[in-house]
Structure 1
């Protein structure tokens, strides 16, 4: 390509990208920078008066037991929901992809259906399922003679996070299952036929053929798990428990929200937001490093 034509092409590409870059800078880069800057101030968020206090918000943060509880709960949901969702999504995707069921498309729609529902609807649905007296779960346990297992699932600090985690998994499995199925549909059937001839079991085929062939998708979904779990935990906790009982179901985003809009402590809330940013960014980097050597 002639140099003059190449220059014109580069100019056209740059001009085309400028609006998108400007919007990205305005709505992503500037707000992110502003979060870091605001975390250095004592500010109610309701007045123009700001007091620069340096790292005092962070010092207070690391001595705040409620913050550590929220951080532990967030990490628990990240690990629990990610592990179970990925296992179930892979299992259902492999089962539907490699099976000869005529109802395959029906099951795809059935598993994906929770993603069509609003998070509020799902939260209310599971709140009713966990209701201590008339809820389906406790009624079922009593009906089969397991009365001793019936309990207030959302009212006990020992079970509340598990109960919220189950609701989050139910909502997410179908979405990731469809993503994995899209990858599995692209695997050549000849690979499985050759493995069958060699006497490889379905279990061996799954780990020796399916997983390596969709490894790139698995890496991407790991980052999706991190960001979606952080965001979804805020919605599910707000709808189902509002942090109860006694803050035992509080997560980082709900604690940040409470500090900003209930306690009018916006600077402190932005310090929590900085920690959330660091945690999410660090987990994304770590997941990419740990899986990079196996990248297909």
Structure 2
């Protein structure tokens, strides 16, 4: 009996150990290294490292470019998250609850952007927003609205909003499918009872659908916020490279520029630590703010 228990323990450890080793080597150690390197003034290539303590973090507070990139990141987190979640939930509710013709067609159309890579999507939107031959300016010219034409990706006032639209278009379908799967698991008898009691479609949505998929919304919300920070770097890098004049810079792109372009590796790692702490704190805050009793059916 004892040998059997020992063999089970050995099997469990043998199964888990490779994953633990990979996690430590590729996640834990690099994360610790980022924290450690943020305390140095170092170009990243030379052997000359100067320990400066928290000086890199003090510089952050006075760095206008960092503050601008932080503001842009917050804007994308708020706008892209709220709009994407709302559109995904509404589309999922319509396609799962209403008798809409060509449901499968609309599901494919909404989900199509997730098949494409971020680079392809960025290229598509860059072409659409092209000031000379882009669909937007061409359409405005055709309608006689030449005064509304812009250098969309070259205008400091609207460039970040253009990136936000591209990110929303890319993400809506994926989360719509997740919410549809959750909605389809809700017993039809609950809606039938609500209809017998005279509840409208909107009332059914807020009192039945939304509460019963709330845990899925909480999970996807946290996941989406983290992925938005990561994807914002890719969209900015491909569509604008942070321009014009840094007006579309986000935290990750600014960190990358400082660490690998401006040879300020230590300063870049300080930005990385800030991003880590901000993301972790924001995730905890969202989980706390959206926590509620689980409703079962």
- After TM superposition, the score normalised by the length of structure 2 is 0.95
User: What does 1:165-244 correspond to in 2, within 5 Å?
Assistant: 165-244=164-243
- The answer for the alignment partner of 1:134 in structure 2 is 133
Contact preservation (8 Å) 1:215, 1:294: no
Distance 2:27 2:164 in 1: 29
Distance 2:174 2:132 in 1: 32
In the TM superposition, residue 145 of structure 1 has moved relative to its aligned partner by 3.0
Cα deviation, 1:162-189, whole Å, max 9, x if unaligned, reads 1100000000000111111110111111
- The answer for the alignment partner of 2:143 in structure 1 is 144
- The answer for the alignment partner of 1:48 in structure 2 is 47
Moved >6 Å (runs of 4+)? none
Secondary structure of 1:62's counterpart equals: helix
Q: Which moved more, 1:133-142 or 1:160-169?
A: 133-142
- The answer for the alignment partner of 2:17 in structure 1 is 18
Cα deviation, 1:185-223, whole Å, max 9, x if unaligned, reads 111111111111111111111111111111111011111
In the TM superposition, residue 41 of structure 1 has moved relative to its aligned partner by 0.8
In the TM superposition, residue 121 of structure 1 has moved relative to its aligned partner by 1.1
- The answer for the alignment partner of 1:278 in structure 2 is 277
In the TM superposition, residue 119 of structure 1 has moved relative to its aligned partner by 1.0
- The answer for the alignment partner of 1:160 in structure 2 is 159
What's the C-alpha RMSD, in Å, of the aligned pairs? 1.5
In the TM superposition, residue 158 of structure 1 has moved relative to its aligned partner by 1.0
In the TM superposition, residue 294 of structure 1 has moved relative to its aligned partner by 4.8
In the TM superposition, residue 10 of structure 1 has moved relative to its aligned partner by 3.9
In the TM superposition, residue 7 of structure 1 has moved relative to its aligned partner by 5.5
Distance 2:195 2:8 in 1: 52
Secondary structure of 1:292's counterpart equals: coil
Distance 1:58-1:101 versus aligned 2 partners, 3 A rule: same
In the TM superposition, residue 132 of structure 1 has moved relative to its aligned partner by 1.6
Distance 2:259 2:29 in 1: 19
Contact preservation (8 Å) 1:89, 1:173: yes
Structure 1: runs of 5 or more not aligned: none
Distance 2:13 2:219 in 1: 28
Structure 2: runs of 5 or more not aligned: none
- After TM superposition, the score normalised by the length of structure 1 is 0.95
Contact preservation (8 Å) 1:89, 1:174: yes
Distance 1:86 1:107 in 2: 18
